[in-house]
Homo-oligomer: A and B are copies of this chain.
Amino acid sequence: MMGVSVGKAVEGRKGEHAVRIGELSRRTGVSVPTIKFYVREGLLPAGELTSPNQASYGETHVQRLRLIRALLDVGGMSVAAIRDVIVAVEDPERSMHKVLGVTANRLVPRYEREPDTVIEEARKSVAELVAARGWHAYPENPAGEALAAALAALDDVGHGGFVEILDAYADAAEKVARADMDYVAHHVAREALVESAVVGTVLGDAIFAALRRLAHVDASNRVFGGPADRE
């Protein structure tokens, strides 16, 4: 028998299923070496050592691994970006908008482009849009820069006229943002707020993109009359 192991004691507290790394791997579908890799990279806290070569992992590890995989696979974030965001989320000094600032900074790809008239025009469009909407946001924040870069890229490719429908996009974005706030207000506990914001920001992009594709298929069918595409 050998009596109750130290691991058991750990398992006891607050109903956590404390397990060893192999079981953690089985539960999450993440390989053992990969889990160790995440620990090394600072994405996942180390297991609680119960002896020099045994550690036990709890429910928080399972959740964290799911979070990591969601941000990696669905959100398309890099390991480095996820680390930065997680560090920010865990910072006790975290304020909502500080963490979201980090998230935005790490989520938005940084495009470098030597300043030219195209990007200047795009920035102006963004500033005008933000002003017209009365958005309390500085247009020169990373999202605004990303928007300007995307508009500039569209212009480069010969679709400068796109700005004309930007308002429709902004309407939709406002609507979604309101729904997001609504969801957060009703479903999210204060402590989980920041993490939810991160998850929602990242996965929300993926969800909207997918919905937009579905709506395109429908709209395209209506306009062009072809059968929906099965592949």
Q: Is B147 in contact with A210, judged by CB distance below 8 angstroms?
A: yes
Q: How far is the CB of A88 from chain B (nearest CB, A)?
A: 12
Query: Could you tell me if A213 and B104 are in contact, using CB atoms closer than 8 angstroms?
Result: yes
Asked if A40 CB lies within 8 Å of chain B CBs, one says no
Q: Which of A6-14, A16-24, A42-50, A158-166 contacts B (4 or more CB under 8 A)?
A: A158-166
Inter-chain contacts of A187 with B (CB < 8 A): 159, 161-162
Q: Is A81 an interface residue (CB 8 A)?
A: no
Q: A137-B221, A143-B213, A206-B146 given as contacts; is B231 within 8 A of A105 (CB)?
A: yes
- Does A169 lie within 8 Å of B207, measured CB to CB? yes
Do A212 and B204 touch (CB < 8 A)?
yes
User: Does A87 belong to the interface (CB within 8 Å)?
Assistant: no
**Interface of A toward B, CB cutoff 8 Å:** 29, 63, 66-67, 69-70, 73-74, 76, 95-98, 100-101, 104-105, 108-109, 111, 114, 130, 133, 135-139, 141-144, 146-147, 149-151, 153-154, 156-159, 161-162, 164-166, 168-183, 185-187, 192, 196, 199-201, 203-224, 226-231
Q: Besides the contacts A66-B157, A146-B206, A165-B180, what 17 more A-B pairs have beta carbons closer than 8 Å?
A: A74-B149, A97-B221, A98-B229, A104-B213, A135-B214, A136-B221, A136-B228, A143-B210, A143-B211, A143-B217, A165-B182, A169-B179, A169-B211, A172-B208, A173-B214, A177-B216, A181-B223
